[in-house]
Amino acid sequence: MKNSNHFVVEGCYLGVPEATFLFNTFDDMNSLEELDIDCEEEEGGVLAHLDDDDMAGCIPSLAACTGMRSLKLNHLNLSTNSCAALRSVFPRMATLRVLVLRGNSLDDNCTRLLAQGLSGCKQIQSLDLSDNRISDNGLDVLIRSLPTSVDTLYLAMNDITLARHVLLLRFRVLDIWGNTLCPGGTRVIAASLANPESRLEDLDLSQCNVGEEGAATLAESMRNNQRLTRMSLGDNDITERGWNAFSSILCDTSSINATYNSNHTLQRLGVGEIPEDE
């Protein structure tokens, strides 16, 4: 194990003694490139009998893992103190590319701590903070403070409403599935999609309270968009009328010029939600 560069623990019970022993093992594993610990049961329960302080005491051992490229710590009850510990560890992980902290207890303050720690990780590309307690304030921190190399952000199942204007231009992939957007939330997204500087290529808005009017707003924003190739809108109570809003954008048959100028970039819209006659 000491010479391994890849270590995975999934569906395994972890109490304080087990976690302490496990993390102490990493104390001199500078060759470790990938660590994946996930304590979620198949039925959705959590097998980690640990609290935030317990994990905050374990995390400093990871400072020795200077070759870390992918770090995944899921369903371990991480919160403020654990994120403060990670903030101190990240500067030693200059080659970190992927960070996944799903199913913990991260809030907006945690995003600030994580962003501070990741500021020197110039190679990081993907951040997954799904299934936590992050709101619009935390999203704003991530947009403003993450290294410019981060182009993939997963924030599914958090508390994001998009109740105020934020620019989502910097991300290539954005997943906010399962967040309940406010009535004006789709306008915030539409503003970014309509911006010629938008880098968005893959956008997941499934189960986000989009509705009919939101679908029409998003459709209009795609009129001149040249980047987005996939947008998922499943489970949003969109009927045939809502889907029809996209028809004239994707293929306007009113004239030859209109057809030519239609959006030919978007390749996938939803996952089977469009009625068959569309």
pLDDT digits (tens, 9 = 90+) for 9-52: 998 889 999 999 999 999 888 889 999 999 988 677 778 899 99
The reply to whether domains 1-156 and 161-278 share a CATH topology is yes
The structure tokens listed for 11 are 């569906």
pLDDT of residue 258: 59
- Alpha-carbon distance of 151 to 237, in angstroms, equals 29
Q: What is the overall mean pLDDT for the chain? A: 91
Q: Does 2 or 217 have the greater pLDDT score?
A: 217
Categorize the per-residue pLDDT at 274 as very low, low, confident or very high, splitting at 50, 70 and 90.
very low
User: At which residue do the structure tokens 């992939």 appear?
Assistant: 173
- Write the CB contacts of 205 (distance below 8 Å, at least 6 apart in sequence): 176, 177, 181, 189, 218, 231, 232, 233, 236
- Alpha-carbon distance of 17 to 46, in angstroms, equals 17
Q: Does 21 or 1 have the greater pLDDT score?
A: 21
The answer to whether residue 90 scores a pLDDT higher than 60 is yes
Which residues on adjacent β-strands are paired with residue 128? Answer: 100, 154
Strands (E), 49-120: 70-74, 98-100
The structure tokens listed for 148 are 């410019």
Categorize the per-residue pLDDT at 3 as very low, low, confident or very high, splitting at 50, 70 and 90.
low
CATH code reported for the domain at 1-156: 3.80.10.10
pLDDT of residue 148: 95
Percent of the chain residues topping a pLDDT of 90? 75
Range in 8-22, 107-121, 187-201 with the lowest mean pLDDT: 8-22
- Alpha-carbon distance of 271 to 94, in angstroms, equals 37
Q: Tell me if 186 sits within 8 A of 214, measured CB to CB.
A: yes
Summarize the confidence of residues 212-239 as an average pLDDT: 93
The answer to whether residue 215 scores a pLDDT higher than 60 is yes
pLDDT of residue 12: 85
pLDDT of residue 251: 74
Query: To which CATH superfamily is domain 161-278 assigned?
Result: Ribonuclease Inhibitor (3.80.10.10)
CA atoms within 13 A on the CB side of 100: 16
Return left, alpha or beta for 134; rule: phi > 0 is left, psi -120 to 50 is alpha, else beta: beta
**In this structure, is the dihedral angle defined by the CA atoms of residues 247, 162, 238 and 228, taken in order, positive or negative?**
positive
pLDDT digits (tens, 9 = 90+) for 130-174: 999 999 999 999 999 999 999 999 999 999 999 999 999 999 999
Entry pTM: 0.92
pLDDT of residue 84: 98
pLDDT of residue 137: 98
Categorize the per-residue pLDDT at 125 as very low, low, confident or very high, splitting at 50, 70 and 90.
very high
- Alpha-carbon distance of 13 to 6, in angstroms, equals 20
Q: Does 1 or 191 have the greater pLDDT score?
A: 191
Domain range summary for the chain, segments of one domain joined by +: 1-156, 161-278
Q: Tell me if 182 sits within 8 A of 162, measured CB to CB.
A: yes
pLDDT digits (tens, 9 = 90+) for 242-273: 888 888 887 766 776 756 666 678 888 875 44
- Alpha-carbon distance of 86 to 74, in angstroms, equals 14
The answer to whether residue 54 scores a pLDDT higher than 50 is yes
